[in-house]
A and B are shown apart, each in its own frame.
Chain A
Amino acid sequence: LAKTTQPISMDSYEGQEVNITCSHNNIATNDYITWYQQFPSQGPRFIIQGYKTKVTNEVASLFIPADRKSSTLSLPRVSLSDTAVYYCLVALNSGNTPLVFGKGTRLSVIA
């Protein structure tokens, strides 16, 4: 399973765009990149997933360069409720493949 590296923590003011970059130098050809959000005392919640280029949904965008050795999660106009830990994961997209979590990025949004 590919190992990921991301910043331990980030601070942002409300209304700003936040970009969290994750490195995954040994990503395999069939691996997908998935980001999860976790609030205290809750299970992680899926944010977005991609394989290459750019993916956008109603809450975030995911940018993946051609070499796929990194990815950037972009959160537009964050609010206080976006304060959470964000995990970048890389793994096969199959039913019996677990996700191995790295340390994650603790995002603090300040008013």
Chain B
Amino acid sequence: GAVVSQHPSWVICKSGTSVKIECRSLDFQATTMFWYRQFPKQSLMLMATSNEGSKATYEQGVEKDKFLINHASLTLSTLTVTSAHPEDSSFYICSARPGGVGTGELFFGEGSRLTVL
């Protein structure tokens, strides 16, 4: 099946620094990718929809200036957590779906665990 890969798998940073997480579709092109955040013992929360070549669409309550999304190519989307604080510590997961209408499965990356000290 299609593969979505994230890097890094885990990252620890100091409060106030910025962290970039990459999401790549390894064997298909994705004009759209989705970013989720998951806190311990909770479900995935959709943060934003990343669109290749245009601005991302953010869900209500997600600060676009804090969570910068760049989808510069058909296989790469990046999420940058700017000026990270301990409350941003979470598991960040990206996903993408090959092709267009009627193609079914949404593939998820392995996730990236961010810990802000």
Per-position binary interface string of chain B over residues 37-63, scored 1 when its CB falls under 8 Å from any chain A CB and 0 otherwise: 000000111100101000000000000
- Which of B46, B99, B107, B108: most chain A CB closer than 10 A? B108
Q: State the majority secondary structure of interface residues on B.
A: loop
User: Quick check: B111 and A94 within 8 Å, CB to CB?
Assistant: no
Per-position binary interface string of chain A over residues 40-51, scored 1 when its CB falls under 8 Å from any chain B CB and 0 otherwise: 011111100100
Q: How large is the interface on A (under 10, 10 to 19, 20 to 34, 35 or more residues)?
A: 20 to 34
Per-position binary interface string of chain B over residues 87-117, scored 1 when its CB falls under 8 Å from any chain A CB and 0 otherwise: 0000101010111111111111111010000
- Which of B93, B99, B101: most chain A CB closer than 10 A? B101
User: Quick check: B103 and A95 within 8 Å, CB to CB?
Assistant: yes
| Assembly CA distance A99 to B104 (angstroms) | 11
A-B contact count (CB 8 A): 69
With a cutoff of 8 Å between Cβ atoms, the chain A residues found around residue B36 in the complex are 101
Q: Which of B43, B51, B98, B108 contacts A102 (CB 8 A)?
A: B43
Interface positions of B (Cβ within 8 A of A): 1, 4, 6, 30-32, 34, 36, 43-46, 49, 51, 91, 93, 95, 97-111, 113
> Can you name 13 A-B pairs with beta carbons within 8 Å?
A34-B104, A41-B91, A41-B111, A42-B111, A43-B4, A43-B6, A45-B108, A87-B43, A93-B102, A93-B104, A95-B31, A98-B106, A99-B46
